[in-house]
Chain A
């Protein structure tokens, strides 16, 4: 009864090009955001996903618009991969009335139900139990939707993760837990905060299929996502995907990564997923240099337009302080 589109277990040329387009959109948007913040034209915290672009791109290229995504403060890559429109995203970053949350939520809480982005939370781990609720509703309604929730390696140490995975497995929910293991939670290295070798080891505690994949490898990520999505859609229950990756721009803007040893950072940058992906497309004959360059030109033009739109949009009216708190306005 589900009308959801199915995708091949192995990505071909069309699939890889689709994923690459999302990856490049994320990379260029993130770079532009950091530039605009540096220029002082937008004041906001920003948690760069630079280095983690492939993970949501390979997943979301196989999702339908009505599939749900629940993400975190480091969520720009999820928002873009799932299709949040650039203009509303930028206007929200700028705190303007035209933003996806009318300027009230900000980048840490981007919400765009039409694209399936229903929750972005700033609280570590808290998206996991909420994803279960979304997936449960899909199970009850039989609507065939899948819910994907992204979180970090550090989040696998908080209670919500453990409670959430147990419940999802118990109820066989159509949910996919994507742990982006970027080796750090704020300034704390993975090994200093986590007692297991791999986050995927924890799947066994909840009898949940779990895997560790190279999150910077578009083919491996595609296959992992395909398996998990297929399982969820066919009633087979949840999957835990641990996607190994790295974040190149620190925890938040202004963080100089001083706590990351230089050799660790250098080794990680060797594995930058973006040049690696470009090489794969060129060497595999999936695209030409000119085609890939054209993708960037188009994205940059869209970004010019979106930044313009955001910075020329009106600020929210003070009356907005009293709206959207309840359905009806209550005198403050």
Chain B
């Protein structure tokens, strides 16, 4: 049914896609800099080897391993960006954003505005996170709502290798500060390799499955389960449309509203904690604009309102599951 097994497209992982995007960006633009903890080749080219080969190829003046100092890393990115470089800083895990929040929230996000447009901060921060590996409360959080709530940042959370590459290139080339969130499982999950030069515009959702009964809105790793549920329910005659937002800011409202106009039923799925999450924002926008079209209350699926638990027994109940997505679709179908 879906493209896949019989086609001959080369397969790459999310990590390979990121490496390809960084290589291409550094080749195209000498102002692109890559730095963060352990990213250069003497340090193994990143703890999961995402930046492998870059320092050897582009030199250790452009690709630098840094001390463990997130505030210094993001601060250096802000300064270099103001001075005309295109820094791509790596914060090893999203939870370590907390150490650099002053630089991210008070500076990267706001400097353009506060200077009345006199300065700009075209930086990208790449980071890794996600539950499902028993890494516990300080190594798995999805903090995109914090980022999205701070005007001035663009927030990108892709779901497949082609988008990893195309969206990362767009972030680096964008004139605004961009937060690019990688997932610890997707980085090792293979998918179709994109053609050379592939770009995915920021703010444009993908629709991996078209349907007319229910709209599933998601981003990041849960998109894979949304697609699986859509395929499974198609066999029962339930037609599910899957919207992969790809970017949280800017959000592709038009794609969401058009789909809701068709289906009138919505399930929103994300990995982050449900309460006060991005799903609430999406639901609110839908009810503000498409209230008359809705045939059922909007369903939201997200993580429980707790820190990420360590025990695998708790972690599996903490996050979304395919079963929960399916049940929610059936519920809005009535």
Known: A123-B96, A318-B317. A106 touches B134 (CB 8 A): yes
Distance between Cα atoms of A109 and B44 in the complex (Å): 27
B203, CB-defined interface residue at 8 Å: no
Distance in Å: Cβ of A79 to nearest Cβ of chain B: 15
The answer to whether A187 touches B38, judged by C-beta atoms less than 8 angstroms apart, is yes
Nearest chain A residue, comparing its CB with the CB of B92: A186
The stretch that binds A, out of B205-213, B235-243, B299-307, is: B299-307
> Of A106, A122, A125, which contacts B68 at CB under 8 A?
A125
Known: A43-B134, A95-B134. A104 touches B309 (CB 8 A): yes
The answer to whether B65 touches A188, judged by C-beta atoms less than 8 angstroms apart, is yes
Q: B138 to chain A: which residues have CB within 8 Å?
A: 108-109, 121-123
Distance in Å: Cβ of B73 to nearest Cβ of chain A: 11
The answer to whether B136 touches A188, judged by C-beta atoms less than 8 angstroms apart, is no
The answer to whether A103 touches B42, judged by C-beta atoms less than 8 angstroms apart, is no
Q: Which 7 A-B pairs have the closest CB atoms?
A: A106-B310, A95-B311, A103-B311, A315-B313, A157-B67, A122-B138, A187-B43
> Of B43, B98, B134, B311, which contacts A96 at CB under 8 A?
B311
Instruction: Classify the interface of chain B: helix, strand, loop or mixed.
Output: loop
Distance between Cα atoms of A299 and B37 in the complex (Å): 38
The answer to whether B314 touches A104, judged by C-beta atoms less than 8 angstroms apart, is yes
What is the 8 Å Cβ interface bit string for chain B, positions 28-40, against chain A (1 contact, 0 not)?
0000000001100
Distance between Cα atoms of A185 and B68 in the complex (Å): 8
Distance between Cα atoms of A322 and B47 in the complex (Å): 33
Known: A45-B134, A315-B313. A258 touches B44 (CB 8 A): yes
Distance between Cα atoms of A155 and B305 in the complex (Å): 31
Nearest chain B residue, comparing its CB with the CB of A95: B311
The answer to whether A321 touches B71, judged by C-beta atoms less than 8 angstroms apart, is no
Distance in Å: Cβ of A285 to nearest Cβ of chain B: 44
What is the 8 Å Cβ interface bit string for chain B, positions 132-159, against chain A (1 contact, 0 not)?
0011111100000000000000000000
B69, CB-defined interface residue at 8 Å: yes
Q: Which residues of B (283-334) have their CB < 8 Å from a CB of A?
A: 304-307, 309-314, 317-318
Distance between Cα atoms of A285 and B171 in the complex (Å): 67
B189, CB-defined interface residue at 8 Å: no
Nearest chain B residue, comparing its CB with the CB of A92: B310
Nearest chain B residue, comparing its CB with the CB of A259: B44
Known: A259-B43, A322-B306. 5 other contacts (CB 8 A): A105-B137, A106-B134, A122-B138, A158-B99, A159-B71
Distance between Cα atoms of A192 and B41 in the complex (Å): 13
Nearest chain B residue, comparing its CB with the CB of A108: B136
The answer to whether B69 touches A157, judged by C-beta atoms less than 8 angstroms apart, is yes
The answer to whether A103 touches B310, judged by C-beta atoms less than 8 angstroms apart, is yes
A316, CB-defined interface residue at 8 Å: yes
What is the 8 Å Cβ interface bit string for chain A, positions 75-108, against chain B (1 contact, 0 not)?
0000000000000000010011000010111111
Nearest chain B residue, comparing its CB with the CB of A103: B311
Distance in Å: Cβ of B71 to nearest Cβ of chain A: 5
A44, CB-defined interface residue at 8 Å: yes
Distance between Cα atoms of A298 and B131 in the complex (Å): 39
Q: B275 to chain A: which residues have CB within 8 Å?
A: 332
